[in-house]
Structure 1
Amino acid sequence: MSRQNNAKSAGVTLLTAAVAAVTAGLCCVGPLLYLLFGISAAGFAGLSQLEFLRVPMIVLSLGLMLRVFWRLYFSKRLWCTGRLTLGQTRFLFWLILPFMLLILFYPTAVAWFYEVFE
């Protein structure tokens, strides 16, 4: 596999993980917007029907993030994007991971936050 294809594969994996993380939280976006901005969530009531997608998308997103972790630390294939070094890519991975986890688990995190700071 060429360097260009290797970089594209890694980018597609990260992008797919991000899309899966956002999709996993779609069912809860209405209450979150109401909570954050005080706007009416009536228009988002239909998004609660996407609740059945939450668990599969969480599994998909975590699986893809584990694949990227494995590629960054344990894979024998070279990781070369032409623009970023391996160290820079690892730094970006660790920078993005907390945000991805927060997006994935924000309904649980918000409930915990309110329970602790109530």
Structure 2
Amino acid sequence: MNQNESNLPMVGGIIAAIGAGVCCVGPLVLLLLGISGSWISNLTAFEPYRPLFILVVVLLLGYTGWRIYRPIEECEPDSACAIPATRHRRKITFWLTSATAIVLVTSNYWILWFA
């Protein structure tokens, strides 16, 4: 198995999480950059797609977790999956990515405390 191929779901998950959080994180980033105005509250173009993005995040990260935590016996010999150090790095990357995705997906609920 190609090493890049197994990283695609994780990358896709974080991109979908950014899509899910862009309606809430976008205005905050603009405020942090010093850009303000009442028009910032109208940056909700992606809001109707939020549930779809969240579903994609859950599916892609679920698939990635299943691939990372599968038994080592299911890996092809000499593949990246069969190397313990690579598996460990992928697990760390998976959990960091998942934490980032959770922050972005849930930003709609906690971002109000900072605005």
Count of aligned pairs between the two proteins: 108
**Equivalence for 2:12:** 16
Q: CA distance change for structure 1 residues 71 and 81 in 2, over 3 Å: closer, same or farther?
A: closer
Per the alignment, do residues 39 and 8 of structure 1 end up closer, same or farther by CA in structure 2, a change over 3 Å counting?
same
- Check conservation: 2:23, 2:46, Cα contact below 8 A: yes
The CA deviation at 1:110 is: 2.4
Q: CA deviation at 1:38?
A: 4.6
Task: Give the stretch that moved more between structures: 57-66 or 69-78.
Answer: 69-78
Higher RCO (C-alpha 8 Å, min separation 6)? 2
Q: Structure 1 regions of 5+ residues with no counterpart?
A: none
TM-score (norm 1): 0.72
Q: Distance in 2 between matches of 1:20 and 1:96?
A: 11
In structure 2, list runs of 5 or more residues that go unmatched: none
Whether 2:97 is the aligned partner of 1:96: answer yes
Mark the CA change 1:49 to 1:95 in structure 2 (over 3 Å): closer, same or farther. closer
Task: Give distance in 1, aligned partners of 2:21 and 2:101.
Answer: 11
Q: Aligned equivalents of 1:81 and 1:25: distance in 2?
A: 31
Alignment of 1:74 with 2:70, yes or no, is yes
| TM-score, scaled relative to structure 2 | 0.73
Q: Is the 8 A contact 1:30 1:44 kept in 2?
A: no
Contact 2:14 2:97 in 1 (8 A): no
Instruction: Report the counterpart of residue 106 of structure 2 in structure 1.
Output: 105
- Over residues 44-90 of structure 1, what are the superposed CA-to-partner deviations in whole Å (9 max), with x where a residue is unaligned? 83x41221111100110111111111111136642616996111211
1:54 alignment counterpart: 50
Over the matched positions of the two proteins, sequence identity in percent amounts to 25
